[in-house]
Amino acid sequence: MKQYNFAIVGATGMVGRTFIKVLEEMDLPINKIYFMASKRSAGKTITFNNNDYIVEELTKASFDKNIDIALFSAGGATSLEYSPIAASKGVVVIDNSSAFRMDDLVPLVVPEVNPKDILKHQGIIANPNCSTIQAMVVLKPLHDKYTIKRVVYSTYQAVSGAGMGGYKDLEEGLKGNPPEKFPHPIAGNCIPHIDVFTENGYTKEEIKMINETRKILHEPNLAVTATAVRVPVFDSHSESINIEFEKPFNIDDVKKTITNAPGIIVQDDPFNNIYPLALEAAGKNETFVGRIRRDESVKNGINIWVVADNIRKGAATNTIQIAEKLIAYWNEEGK
Ligand code: 25A
Ligand code: L14
């Protein structure tokens, strides 16, 4: 099988380090691999598949070597500056930041949901927001079968979403120290504020979930609303999702549809205390779904509880699954 050259940009961050773990587990056809980060981390050693690599400083010349795929997770500003440079040199960038997600020329991909959108790329493919990804794997099979009319998201998001600084705020907060990353103490608290507030009273995190859901499902007018909340959990986002359908349904069929969908593990036996939990989803690549029940306040509605590791399926795993799919398409084309 043909092998490809990879670059990891933001290799020392929370998502970057998970790229390395997931790449080791998933066994992609990698020939050469380069690790890049800011000047602060240049010169550090990274171990990948038992070999040691030196982290390079990301510069405008970083993509002058022969690189096929670059996985970026170094924040929006870095992506805006360096992704177009990489793309202009023939590299396909798969970007974790929010910089290009809503760009019409950039596919926004969850491989279980809209893999063919990858084929439309012009050098950059965007990885969706973590909270959006785990919802999409469940919503897509339900939309195909029952036609979604409206979605209400309420999220319970882990501190790891805010990178190393978020993790540190919870660790230090549990010892009684004040926060540095979040605007309020996170230990013992719920903060209804993720990313920045906008004019309409919603946060950018909430707006990302709304817009990205519409783009990924190819439903630009779908009724979607969201409230995103940071909770004192280290890893894995949990979401309560209320969905209204156009079509009537049998709740057992809904459960079957979710159970048969790719990338999902159903944990739904409430009388035996079985439902998805953040602690159990941490470190896993799948999305966990439970508490599947009819919403009796509307004609055709359900409520579900959806949990996934936000740094794995919400970021690193999904990005690497996009790379895997891209390579599969290249192999079909003979590239
Ligand atoms: O703009 P966005 O899209 O909203 O993204 C903002 C941040 O969100 C995280 C990611 O933080 C990003 O910086 N993120 C992005 N996508 C995410 C997703 N899908 C996501 N989080 C969750 N889900 P991060 O901490 O995970 O990663 C930061 C990495 O980016 C590298 N980097 C930053 N600027 C760069 C750059 N690389 C190249 N060029 C640049 N200009 C960064 O490398 C890190 O790898 P580093 O060398 O700057 O950091 C190395 C070590 O230093 C720690 N650190 C970070 N900031 C500080 C710091 N230490 C001290 N002081 C700081 N201010 C890092 O955590 C790392 O350990
Ligand atoms: O848009 O702070 O991918 O939890 C995901 C994590 C934005 C910030 C994104 C967080 C980021 C968010």
Q: Is 130 a catalytic residue?
A: yes
Specify the higher pLDDT residue, 21 or 27.
21
Question: Tell me, what's the pLDDT at 1?
Answer: 79
Q: What tens digit of pLDDT does each residue of 279-290 get?
A: 999 999 999 999
Contacts of 322 (CB under 8 A, 6+ apart): 94, 109, 111, 118, 125, 127
What is the per-residue pLDDT for 129?
Answer: 98
Residue 255 has which token pair? 């459960």
CA of 274 to the centre of ligand 2 (A): 29
Residue 47's pLDDT is what?
97
Distance CA 266, CA 251 (A): 14
Say how far apart CA 210 and CA 328 lie, in whole Å: 30
Counting from 1 in the atom list of ligand 2, the atom nearest the Cα of 162 is 2
236-264: pLDDT as tens digits:
999 999 999 999 999 999 999 999 999 99
161 lines ligand 1 (CB under 6 A): yes
All structural domains of the chain: 4-127+315-333 (3.40.50.720), 131-310 (3.30.360.10)
Q: pLDDT band at residue 335, thresholds of 50, 70 and 90?
A: confident
Residue 143 falls in the annotated catalytic set: no
Amino acid at the residue 296 = E
pLDDT at 296: 98
Average pLDDT across the chain, whole number: 98
- HEC assignment per residue over 238-266: EEEEEEEECCCCCHHHHHHHHHHCCCEEE
Residue ID of nearest Cα to ligand 2 atom 11:
129
